């Protein structure tokens, strides 16, 4: 049963029990209405308490039902709320911990509400491209006032119950319990109190009957619309939140509900909403590995060692300090250690200055940090992460040392971005304990973590590092071993297309603008300037040896020959003013591109933004299809997660493969065939990957 029914004297208690967050799936909804009927039929019951077991009152809709007929099967949430409202005995919602989305809408159907302090209250539907669809936009303004309610609905952010209980005139909570522990007792007492009040048939209060007005309605909603327009950009839901709350102030309750419903359903069909829901599920699915069951035993990670205190080592260290896990950093020389620690301090101090970190927290974090020059000091760490120079000889020396000193069962991880993790594992006598943990720069900021599974990596190591990733607030995706793993292997093709576009007639600015309009956080050339153009240069030099028949534009090499490595040298594809990140177009670079084009005998043509976007995005898609077919990625949605959290792909497009699905794989393949005919492009690359070709032919999606 996903809701339990118990009678305590004259009060019936219906307890939602659908772990992990009491999602309002079909069986839970059925159990609630069954409980209400039972209570209604029992003459001994005078009042009903509706509450949640475990971690939540209710987190809202059950995501496992997304897109299935169960989601709307009767009793749907609207019907359950109606059943609560229509119960002739007072219903008291007793909420603790999490009360979100449909959970809050359910509570708003109750006659009374009591909350524990510390409860997270939210209507987060906007984050999935939706508005609340079970009365949230109509009832919340009636209990909180229009402005407070609209702020919550448009942001989707949780607000603490004790904050809400303090709002003047609020009717959301009739009572705030003294503590989460006393909530159950206090709810029973409160239910008895209201039962006595209504014993003589005195009408039960309903939120729907409360007035909903704003004293300067038109002006306020105009203001709200302008605010939201600036914020929402390509997201369709926020302006609709404003419309729906305005409807609550202008229409009768039933008409407002109809308006909310219609808006909700229309949004449900937008590609943005589909993409956001895809991403929501994809992010949660990424931590699941097909052949590593959830109950796989895990190793305990209480302490960490980091080898190398450079750019990555420092950022990686901060992640663990932030999570309260002690870190010992090892370097070859004292001055490198000092520099690394100073950078960590500087980063934290900047956060303190901005008010993002309290001074005592800062000290607490720094107290977890220690340093050493000797391998003999780190042997007891549960996990060691290597972030030294990207040279296989250096990695070999380090892993041999680690093999010598680390205690049995310690996990040995490498942050390598290009080297073969199997080879690195082979430097040790314990390849089963070796794994790749590929962080993204800046490692203390970027959410993505590629977990690189070697041929011999043990399952419990995989299970453990996925849990560690969660602890340090990263979104982890598993990748097999290949050059560049998932993300960088794809970006190489994207970069190659960027080069061809310059040769054929684009400027870096035109390409970047087109991609940024599409929604990328940064176009490819601004991204190159940020990451350092020398990195791509080094990779290309290797490729010229390994794959002499692979086609490349030489423009980026010419740029690097000028020393224009990007932001770190103050000049790359663009110019940069010290301390600022604004990209300023540079006439010499544009001239360099033109000269190179002339030297190649190419007559420039005007290239549309549409072609730019398609060539760049579909190059990601084609490489991704190879990656998927080779089993480097476990599932298509993992690749989408990599691109959203590691490469600034627009969230409302749900990742490159979701975007390809939206465009239609048939159309994607047609476009590739067109690109293959362009003599200045790489016809071989544009042969659709077999998996893509097959799916397109069968009318399927990734
Ligand atoms: P870095 O040059 O900033 O730092 C490397 C540090 O390792 C230096 O402080 C150096 O003194 C130290 N080191 C070198 N050999 C050592 C040894 N034998 N024992 C102890 N310490 C040693 O390099 P960065 O950028 O931090 O890169 C480190 C690793 O992370 C590389 O494998 C790189 O491919 C990878 N990586 C880099 C990313 C980036 O954006 N910079 C992104 C993802 C991975």
Pocket test for ligand 1, best of 308, 392, 444 (most atoms within 8 A of CB): 308
For ligand 1, say whether the CB of 32 is within 6 Å of any of its atoms: no
Pairing of strands 11-16, 475-479: unpaired
Output the six-digit token pair for 556.
């980026």
**Would the CB of 286 count as within 6 Å of ligand 1?**
no
Q: What is the pLDDT of the chain when averaged over all its residues?
A: 96
**What's the average model confidence in pLDDT over 530-536?**
92
C-beta separation of 191 from 47 below 8 A: yes
Tell me, what's the pLDDT at 202? Answer: 86
Nearest protein Cα to ligand 1, atom 25:
311
Ligand 1, atom nearest to 395 Cα:
18
Q: Whose CA is nearest to atom 44 of ligand 1?
A: 417
Name which residue sits closest to atom 20 of ligand 1, judged by CA.
Answer: 331
Sign of CA dihedral 646, 649, 654, 656: negative
The band of 71, judged by pLDDT with boundaries at 50, 70 and 90, is confident
Right CATH number for 487-697 from 1.10.357.10, 3.40.50.1100, 1.10.1040.50, 3.40.50.720?
A: 1.10.1040.50
Q: What is the mean pLDDT of residues 280-300?
A: 95
DSSP state, residue 407:
P
Which DSSP state fits 477? Answer: E
Q: Determine the longest span between alpha carbons in the chain, in angstroms.
A: 95
CA distance 381 to 331: 16
Percent of the chain at pLDDT > 90 equals 94
Q: Is the CB of 386 under 6 A from ligand 1?
A: no
* Residue 146 CB contacts under 8 Å (≥ 6 apart), including other chains: 212, 213, 214, 217, 220, 245, 248, 249
Quick one: average pLDDT of 689-698? 98
For 183-223, how does the pLDDT look when each residue is reduced to its tens digit (9 = 90+)?
A: 999 999 999 999 999 988 889 999 999 999 999 989 999 99
Mean pLDDT of 41-46: 97
Looking from the CA of residue 333, the nearest atom of ligand 1 is 11
Query: Quick one: which of 594, 610, 614 has its CA closest to 508?
Result: 594
Q: How far is the CA of 415 from the centre of ligand 1 (A)?
A: 8
Position in ligand 1 atom list of the atom nearest CA 313: 26
Does the CB atom of residue 223 touch ligand 1 within 6 A? no
Q: Is 389 in the pocket of ligand 1 (CB under 6 A)?
A: yes
Please tell me the number of Cα atoms within 13 Å of 145 on its side-chain side: 12
Measure the CA–CA gap between 440 and 491, rounded to whole angstroms: 14
Q: Residue 290: helix, strand or coil by DSSP?
A: coil
pLDDT of residue 468: 98
> Is the C-beta atom of 437 inside 6 A of ligand 1?
no
Fold classified for 3-268: 2-enoyl-CoA Hydratase; Chain A, domain 1 (3.90.226)
Testing ligand 1's pocket by substitution, the residue of 309, 310, 397 carrying the most ligand atoms inside 8 A of its CB is 310
- For residue 633, the Cα-to-chain-centroid distance in whole angstroms is 18
Q: Which atom of ligand 1 is nearest to the CA of 340?
A: 9
Q: How far does residue 372's CA lie from ligand 1's centre (Å)? A: 17
pLDDT band at 63 (very low <50, low <70, confident <90, very high): confident
Q: Is 445 in the pocket of ligand 1 (CB under 6 A)?
A: no
φ, ψ for residue 49, nearest 5 deg:
-110, 130
Centre of ligand 1 to C-alpha 98, Å, is 42
Residue 64 pLDDT more than 90?
no
Cis geometry, peptide bond prior to residue 31 (ω within 30 degrees of 0): no
Express each pLDDT in 324-341 by its tens digit: 999 999 999 999 999 999
Q: Residue 72's pLDDT band (boundaries 50, 70, 90)?
A: confident
* Interval 536-541 mean pLDDT: 92
| pLDDT at residue 489, as a whole number | 96
What is the arithmetic mean of pLDDT over 417-432?
Answer: 97
* Cβ(52) – ligand 1 distance below 6 Å: no
Token pair in block for residue 56: 């939540």
For ligand 1, say whether the CB of 415 is within 6 Å of any of its atoms.
yes
Which structure tokens are listed for 356?
A: 């993002």
The finding on whether 491 has its CB within 6 A of some atom of ligand 1 is no
In this predicted structure, what is the pLDDT of residue 230? 83
If you write DSSP's letter for every residue of 531-572 in order, what string do you get? H-HHHHHHHHHHHHHH-TTS---SHHHHHHHTT--BGGGTBS
- Answer yes or no: is pLDDT of 225 > 80: yes
Nearest CA to ligand 1 atom 40: 441
Distance 656 CA to ligand 1 centre (A): 30
In ligand 1, which atom is closest to the CA atom of 418? Answer: 34
Q: Which of 309, 312, 405, 542 to mutate to test the pocket of ligand 1 (most atoms within 8 A of CB)?
A: 312
The residue whose CA has the least distance to atom 4 of ligand 1 is 310
* 448 close to ligand 1 (CB < 6 Angstrom): no
Residue with CA closest to ligand 1 atom 36? 417
Q: How confident is the model at residue 579 (pLDDT cuts 50, 70, 90)?
A: confident
Q: Is the confidence at residue 1, as pLDDT, over 90?
A: no
Cα-to-centroid distance, 548 and ligand 1 (Å) = 29
Q: Within 10 Å of residue 54's Cβ, how many Cβ atoms? A: 16
Is any atom of ligand 1 closer than 6 Å to the C-beta of 441?
yes
Cα 370 to middle of ligand 1, angstroms: 19
| Alpha-carbon span 472 to 442, nearest angstrom | 14
Ligand 1 atom 8: residue of nearest CA: 310
Q: pTM, whole model, 2 decimals?
A: 0.90
Please check whether residue 171 is in contact with residue 104, taking contact to mean a CB–CB distance below 8 angstroms: no
Distance 443 CA to ligand 1 centre (A): 12
Domain with CATH 3.40.50.720 in the chain: 304-479
The span from the CA of 454 to the CA of 292, in Å, is: 14
The average pLDDT across 31-43 equals 98
For residue 441, the ligand 1 atom closest to its alpha carbon is: 40
**Nearest C-alpha neighbor of 330 from the set 421, 405, 428:** 405
pLDDT surpassing 80 at residue 485: yes
CA 209 – ligand 1 centroid, Å = 64
Mean pLDDT value across residues 548-574: 95
Check residue 66 and give its pLDDT.
74
pLDDT value of residue 201: 82
Q: Measured in angstroms, how far is the CA atom of residue 314 from the centroid of ligand 1?
A: 10
CA-to-CA distance for 390 and 413, rounded, in angstroms? 14
Q: Ligand 1 in contact with 317 (CB < 6 A)?
A: no
Closest C-alpha residue for ligand 1 atom 35: 416
On the CB side of 561, CA atoms within 13 Å amount to: 8
pLDDT tens digits for range 629-683: 999 999 999 999 999 999 999 999 999 999 999 999 999 999 999 999 999 999 9
| Token code pair at residue 341 | 């620690």
* Domain 304-479 listed as CATH 3.40.50.720: yes
Condensed to tens digits (0 to 9), the pLDDT of residues 276-286 reads 999 999 999 99
Residue 491 makes CB contacts below 8 A (sequence gap 6+) with 484, 620, 647
Q: Which two tokens stand for residue 691?
A: 């998996």
Lowest-pLDDT range, 143-152, 444-453, 464-473, 545-554? 545-554
Which structure tokens are listed for 283? Answer: 């992010």
Q: Is the CB of 628 under 6 A from ligand 1?
A: no
Given this model, what pLDDT does residue 581 score? 84
Beta strand extents in 29-100 (DSSP E only):
47-52, 91-95, 98-100
Site to substitute for ligand 1 among 305, 306, 313, most atoms within 8 A of C-beta: 313
Give 213-232 as a 3 state SS string: CCCCHHHHHHHHHHHHHHHH
Task: Determine if ligand 1 sits within 6 Å of the CB of residue 398.
Answer: yes
* Strands 411-414 and 434-439, bridge-based pairing: parallel
Q: How far is the CA of 624 from the centre of ligand 1 (A)?
A: 28
637: exposed, middle or buried (Cβ count in 10 Å: 0-12, 13-18, 19+): buried
* Segment 489-524, tens digit of pLDDT: 999 999 999 999 999 999 999 999 999 999 999 999
- Structure token digits, residue 354: 């901005």
Alpha helices for 562-608 (secondary structure H):
587-599
Task: Summarize pLDDT for 244-280 with one digit per residue, the tens.
Answer: 999 999 999 999 999 999 999 999 999 999 999 999 9
Dist. CA 309 → ligand 1 center (Å): 7
Centre of ligand 1 to C-alpha 700, Å, is 43
CA–CA dist 236, 250 (Å, integer): 22
- According to DSSP, residue 457 is labeled -
What amino acid positions are annotated as catalytic residues? 105, 125
pLDDT tops 90 at residue 297: yes
Tens digit of each residue's pLDDT (9 = 90 or more) over 368-401: 999 999 999 999 999 999 999 999 999 999 999 9
Evaluate whether 498 touches 524 at the Cβ level (below 8 Å). Answer: yes
Range(s) of the chain covered by CATH 1.10.1040.50: 487-697
């Amino acid at each position: 049963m996903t809701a339990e029914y118990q009678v305590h004297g004259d009060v019936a208690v219906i307890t939602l029990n659908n772990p992990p967050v009491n999602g309002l799936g079909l069986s839970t909804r059925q159990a609630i209405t069954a409980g209400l009927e039972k209570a209604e039929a029992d003459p001994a019951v005078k009042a009903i308490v509706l509450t949640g077991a475990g971690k939540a009152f209710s987190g809202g809709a059950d995501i496992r039902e997304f897109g299935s007929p169960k989601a709307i099967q009767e009793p749907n949430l609207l019907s359950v709320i109606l059943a609560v409202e229509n119960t002739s005995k007072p219903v008291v919602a007793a909420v603790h911990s999490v009360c979100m989305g449909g959970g809050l809408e359910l509570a708003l159907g109750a006659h009374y509400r009591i909350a524990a302090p510390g409860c997270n209250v939210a209507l987060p539907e906007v984050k999935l491209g939706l508005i609340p669809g079970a009365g949230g936009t109509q009832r919340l303004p009636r209990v909180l006032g229009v402005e407070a309610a609209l702020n919550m609905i448009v942001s989707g952010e949780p607000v603490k119950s004790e904050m809400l209980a303090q709002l003047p005139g609020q009717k959301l909570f009739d009572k705030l319990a003294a503590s989460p522990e006393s909530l159950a007792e206090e709810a029973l007492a409160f239910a008895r109190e209201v039962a006595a009040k209504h014993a003589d048939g005195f009408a039960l209060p309903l939120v729907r009957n409360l007035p909903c007005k704003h004293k300067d309605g038109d002006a306020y909603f105009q203001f709200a619309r302008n605010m939201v327009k600036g914020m929402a950009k390509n997201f369709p839901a926020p302006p609709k939140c404003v419309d729906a709350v305005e409807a609550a102030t202008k229409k009768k309750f039933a008409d407002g509900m109809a308006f909310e419903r219609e808006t909700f359903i229309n949004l449900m069909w937008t590609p943005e909403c589909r993409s956001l829901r895809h991403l929501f599920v994809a992010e949660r699915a990424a931590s699941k590995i097909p052949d590593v069951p959830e109950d796989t035993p895990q190793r305990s990670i209480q302490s960490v060692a980091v080898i190398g205190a450079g750019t990555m080592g420092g950022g990686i260290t901060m992640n663990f300090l932030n999570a309260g896990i002690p870190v010992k950093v090892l370097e070859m020389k004292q001055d490198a250690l000092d520099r690394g620690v100073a950078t960590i301090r500087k980063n934290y101090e900047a956060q303190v200055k901005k008010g993002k970190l309290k001074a005592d927290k800062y000290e607490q974090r720094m107290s977890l940090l220690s340093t050493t020059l000797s391998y003999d000091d780190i042997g007891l760490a549960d996990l060691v992460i290597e972030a030294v120079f990207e040279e296989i000889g250096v990695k070999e020396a380090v892993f041999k040392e680690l093999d010598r000193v680390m205690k049995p069962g310690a996990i040995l991880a490498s942050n390598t971005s290009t080297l073969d993790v199997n080879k690195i594992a082979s430097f040790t006598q314990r390849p089963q304990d070796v794994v790749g943990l590929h962080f993204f720069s800046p490692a203390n900021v970027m959410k993505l973590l590629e977990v690189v599974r070697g041929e011999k990596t043990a399952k419990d190591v995989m299970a453990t590092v996925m849990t560690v990733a969660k602890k340090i607030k990263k979104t982890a995706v598993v990748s097999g071993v290949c050059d560049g793993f998932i993300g960088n292997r794809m970006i190489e093709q994207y970069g190659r297309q960027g080069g061809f576009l310059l040769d054929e007639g684009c400027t870096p600015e035109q390409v970047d603008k087109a991609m940024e309009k599409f929604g990328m956080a940064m176009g490819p050339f601004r991204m190159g300037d940020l990451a350092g153009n020398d990195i791509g240069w080094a990779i290309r030099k290797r490729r010229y040896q390994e794959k002499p028949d692979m086609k490349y534009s030489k423009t980026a090499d010419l740029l690097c020959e000028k020393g224009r490595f990007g932001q770190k040298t103050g000049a790359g594809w663009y110019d940069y003013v010290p301390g600022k990140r604004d990209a300023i177009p540079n006439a010499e670079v544009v001239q360099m591109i033109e000269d190179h084009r002339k030297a190649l005998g190419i007559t420039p043509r005007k290239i549309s933004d549409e072609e730019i976007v398609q060539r760049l995005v579909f190059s990601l898609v084609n490489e991704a299809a190879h990656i998927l077919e080779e089993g480097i990625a476990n599932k298509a949605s993992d690749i989408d997660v990599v691109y959203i959290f590691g490469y600034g792909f627009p969230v409302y497009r749900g990742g490159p493969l979701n975007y390809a699905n939206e465009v239609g794989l048939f159309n994607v393949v047609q476009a590739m065939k067109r690109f293959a005919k362009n003599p200045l492009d790489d016809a071989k690359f544009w042969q659709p990957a077999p998996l893509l070709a097959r799916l397109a032919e069968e009318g399927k999606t990734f």
